[in-house]
Each structure stands twice: as structure tokens, then as C-alpha cells.
Homo-oligomer: A and B are copies of this chain.
Amino acid sequence: MSISSRFAVAIHILALLDINKEGRNTSEFIAGSVNTNPVVIRRVIGLLGKAGLVHTSPGVGGASLARLPREINLLEVYRAVQNDPPGELFAAHDKPNPKCLVGRNIQETLDTVFKRAESAMENELAKVTLDQIVFDLVRGDQ
């Protein structure tokens, strides 16, 4: 299955926080932009907050970036909103038969390959920073 759209939504939110940094970005306002429910936004922002990427103001309302856009890369965002722990992009089939030559060794063999593939993907995400996203976004609008 696909990687959760929380990731896309998270990037959307962060980009919006940067672009609209003058305004007050309440979950309802953001929800209007993303076109979803405010609670969905608050959930994602909660994850981003735990990861130290955004600050929120309970009571007063609104969220803001906790770092410069240049210092936030997509791998951090990915990790923040991803439920599965790192190294488990590919599911292993559990309890292979230890009496079987393949079963005894497949896990370790696959682990190496899977980790390599996963890292390759993550490295690409790590290369991209939020300010590049925003730049691309604004440029695309002209």
C-alpha cells in the first residue's frame, strides 16, 4: 500500500505556515486550504510538534514553524508523520520455516536489500528542504 497521505498533508501544512507566516494559521484555516477536516490537521500538527518542527498556541490558536524552512528537510517530515518505525518500509513475512534452507536465511538476506532500498529513498527526501518546496510552489504559480 501507499505511504500515508499524512506525509503530503504535512508538507502542505508546513509550506502554508511559511507562506502565510504573517497570518494566524488555525487548524480551521489550514483545513480550508488543504480541503479536509480541522481535526485531521490538528492530528498532523500534533505529530509535527512532537518532532519539534512546529509550535502551536493552545487557547490563542495558530501554528508556526519552529525552524527556518531551509533547516527542515522532507526526511524529517516523513519520520514525524510516519507510524511505522524506520527500517520497516518493506514487510517481512514472519516465522519462516527454520527447517528450510531458504527459511533459515531469507530474513537476513532480505533485510540487507530492503534496508538499502529504503535508505536510497530516504536519502532523496533528505536532499529536499522546505524552502525548496516553497520556492517551487511560488514559481509554479506564475
A60 contacts the other chain (Cβ, under 8 Å)?
no
Categorize the interface residue count of chain A: 35 or more
Quickly give the copy total for this chain. Answer: 2
Residue of B nearest to A95 (CB): B35
Whether the Cβ atoms of B137 and A105 lie closer than 8 Å is yes
Bound-complex Cα distance A136 to B141 (A):
51
Bound-complex Cα distance A40 to B104 (A):
20
Name the distance in Å between A59's Cβ and chain B's nearest Cβ: 26
Contacts of A101 in B (CB 8 A): 19, 137-138, 141
Whether the Cβ atoms of B8 and A110 lie closer than 8 Å is yes
Whether the Cβ atoms of B5 and A3 lie closer than 8 Å is no
A84 contacts the other chain (Cβ, under 8 Å)?
yes
